[in-house]
Amino acid sequence: MTEEHRSDGRSIDEILAEARAELDKTPDGPQQAAEPGTPEPDDFTPDFGHTFDDYGEFEEPQPEEELPPEPPRKRHKRIVPLFVKIILYVVIVAVVSVGAGYAAWACATDVLAFGRSSDTIQVTVPENASLDAIADMLHDNGLIQYPWLFKLYCKFTHSAGRMDAGTYELAYNYDYHALVSGMTESGGTRTTVRVMLPEGATCAQIFALLEKNEVCTAEKLGESAANTHFDYWFLEDIPYGETNRLEGFLFPDTYDFYVNDDPDRVLEKLLSNFNRKFSDDASAQLETLNTALAERWTAKGYDESYIEAHRMTIYDLVTVASMIEKETASAKESSTIASVIYNRLCDPANYPYLNIDATIVYALGGVDGALTYEDTQIDSPYNTYNRTGLPAGPISNPGLSSISAALNPADTSYYYYALDDSTGLHHFSESYDEHQAFLAGQNDA
């Protein structure tokens, strides 16, 4: 190629050589270019001037510290294979489900009494029994299986306070609702017992008999008799406080009572029977009796004040009837026994004491064998050997025949009687001498 020239007559090669020479003369100029293929010196540091002053001094990055190699992770061998775990899970869920279902079925069976016998059993709910006690009693008698469930039912249905004290006839196939209803006075079938109260029994004897038949305890009956207000006209003037307060008015008869009955209700039944038996006709007869007695007292010279003070009340009449009941050997002599009592009452000047042995027996609370003289001296308001007139009150609970005899005494002149061993009946005498002669004959026999 032809060599090119500038206008000053120099060639391009000359100009380049001249410029290179100038650069070599500069102190900070570039270094001699290395020959191609020659490696750069190790201490070469590029000079960037003040370009990177704002970034601080450059530090060579340090190589990261090498961590020890991580040990290879051990692969544990499965103790239970996965498919076995799945089977176990299914089995556990099934068992829990079956168990829950069985528990629910067992509870339902107990509440609804499925599959149980129709046999019955007597159970007793005590006075003031708690729900816990009732549930335990039902469980002990085989009527429920789960006391806690029965208590939960009662609380949920608000029936915990509905059950009444008493003895009831319950069936094994009663569900919870029937059990609760069966232990209430209104809906339950309470166990009853029939008791015959004999004529002439005292209150104490009646209470003991009722206790023996599980109607009520004698103690509770005595407390009720002493303190409970019974609204009957014939009890109006009788003071409270004594267990024999109702003596004479517990009418002897045959009754059906609940087992473990309420004492007030028991006595109410006896008193209401007396009220029915002592009819309006009997009240009219009592007035007739008082009229006849007043005439006899008048004939003996007693004034109106004495007669008024000694008029026979219903309480006096029952007192006489109670003595007749205890002294009579046979109903056919009841009115004659009554005549002896009234004959003495109408002649207190000559016969101030009735001398009724049965009143001594009552005062002593019963005796074994014959009375002694010491017995007749007992200090008691019931002792008719040293207390004038009638004793303090009735000495027994008379029957209808004795009450009728007290209302309708025979018209006699007898003042004494004594048991005739040969007949088993009483021998009546008009005078003391006749009476003593009869007794002497009994002793000689």
* pLDDT confidence bin for 268, thresholds 50/70/90: very high
Residue 102: per-residue pLDDT: 62
- The residue ranking higher by pLDDT, 120 or 395, is 395
pLDDT at residue 175 above 80? yes
- Say which residue, 2 or 62, is predicted with more confidence: 62
Which residue type occupies 39? P
pLDDT at residue 18, as a whole number: 72
Structure token digits, residue 223: 């407390």
pLDDT band at 352 (very low <50, low <70, confident <90, very high): very high
Are 206 and 197 a contacting pair, CB within 8 Å?
Answer: yes
pLDDT band at 290 (very low <50, low <70, confident <90, very high): very high
Per-residue pLDDT at 8: 56
Alpha-carbon distance values, 407 to 191, 319, 335 (Å): 39, 12, 9
Q: What is the mean pLDDT of residues 298-324?
A: 96
What would the CATH number be for the domain defined by 120-182?
A: 3.30.1490.480
Task: Read off the pLDDT band of 68 (50, 70, 90).
Answer: low
pLDDT on residue 33: 47
Q: What is the pLDDT of residues 21-61, one digit of tens each?
A: 766 655 555 554 445 555 555 555 555 555 555 555 555 55
Cβ 243 vs Cβ 222: under 8 Å: yes
The confidence score (pLDDT) of residue 3 equals: 46
Q: How far is CA 205 from CA 243, 271, 275, 318, 344, in A?
A: 12, 16, 21, 18, 30
Q: Domains of the chain: which residue ranges? A: 120-182, 192-277, 281-412
Q: What is the pLDDT of residue 196?
A: 97
Residue type, 118: S
Task: Provide the pLDDT for residue 385.
Answer: 96
Dihedrals φ, ψ of 240, to 5°?
A: -85, 165
Res 159 pLDDT > 60: yes
Compute the average pLDDT of residues 402-425: 95
**Cα 285 from Cα 321, distance rounded (Å):** 14
Give 166's strand partners. Answer: 125
Architecture of the domain made up of 192-277: 2-Layer Sandwich (3.30)
The answer to pTM > 0.95 is no
Question: Does the fold of domain 192-277 match that of domain 120-182?
Answer: yes
Q: Whole-number mean pLDDT of the chain?
A: 85
The pLDDT score that the predictor gives to residue 302 is 95
C-alpha distances out from residue 202 to 92, 99, 297, Å: 74, 64, 32
Beta strands, E only, 266-315: none
Contact 126, 165 (CB under 8 A): yes
Percent of the chain with pLDDT over 90: 60
Rounded to a whole number of angstroms, the distance between the first and last alpha carbons of the chain is 200
* Ranges 126-140, 169-183, 332-346, most confident: 332-346
Residue range 255-271: mean pLDDT, rounded: 94
CA distance 207 to 374: 29
